[in-house]
């Protein structure tokens, strides 16, 4: 019985220590799961700004372009190398975020739901076609956004953005 009490006390102490240090549960230095999305986003953008060495004036012009490329890359399933910034990959949208989802994300979610519910081939085929169409449109938009971003950066910044997966 005494051993059980010690195990419980140690478990509570370790859990509390981890949560105070930002450890455990995937919540490290960058907010992890459950952190404020706006704060995570701001840290991500700050990391990109630092990585490419943009001045405040440059970043004022580049930040909206970087944000657009980042969002479109996430939506199109391409993703971005946030590990290069010391962060984990951002969480994918959940069903509760439906009103904020892009067409590609909504159609992907619909397709995933149809698959999990064991929908028939005809339904899955229709949802797959809709997802592909939305994803392709997002990829075209991404190509245009990347071109706009590339036009506004130096060669060194372009190289850093390529390493981050924001540019090809």
Q: What is the pLDDT of residues 85-115, one digit of tens each?
A: 654 444 444 444 445 567 888 888 899 899 9
Going by C-alpha positions, the residue among 144, 126, 123, 145 that lies closest to residue 134 is 126
Structure tokens at 122: 């005809």
Structure tokens at 82: 């946030």
Residue 35 and residue 25 in contact, taking contact as beta carbons nearer than 8 Å = no
Q: Map tokens 């390493």 to a residue.
A: 163
* Region of residue 109 (phi > 0: left; psi between -120 and 50: alpha; otherwise: beta): alpha
Question: What does the pLDDT look like over 50-84, one tens digit per residue?
Answer: 989 999 999 999 999 999 998 888 887 776 656 65
Going by C-alpha positions, the residue among 77, 86, 83, 82 that lies closest to residue 66 is 82
Across all residues in the chain, what is the average pLDDT?
A: 76
Would the pLDDT of 46 be above 50? yes
């Amino acid at each position: 019985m005494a051993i059980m009490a010690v195990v419980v006390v140690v478990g509570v102490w370790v859990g509390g220590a981890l949560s105070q240090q930002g450890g455990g549960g995937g919540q490290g230095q960058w907010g992890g799961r459950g952190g404020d999305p706006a704060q995570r986003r701001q840290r991500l953008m700050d990391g990109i700004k630092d990585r490419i060495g943009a001045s405040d004036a440059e970043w004022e012009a580049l930040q909206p372009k970087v944000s657009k490329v980042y969002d479109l890359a996430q939506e199109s399933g391409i993703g971005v190398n946030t590990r290069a910034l010391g962060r984990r990959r951002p969480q994918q949208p959940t069903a509760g975020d439906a009103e904020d989802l892009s067409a590609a994300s909504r159609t992907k979610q619909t397709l995933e739901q149809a698959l999990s519910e064991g929908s028939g081939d005809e339904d899955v085929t229709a949802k797959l076609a809709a997802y592909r169409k939305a994803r392709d449109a997002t990829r075209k938009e991404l190509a245009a956004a990347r071109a706009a971003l590339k036009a506004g950066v130096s060669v060194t910044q372009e190289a850093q953005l390529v390493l981050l997966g924001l540019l090809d």
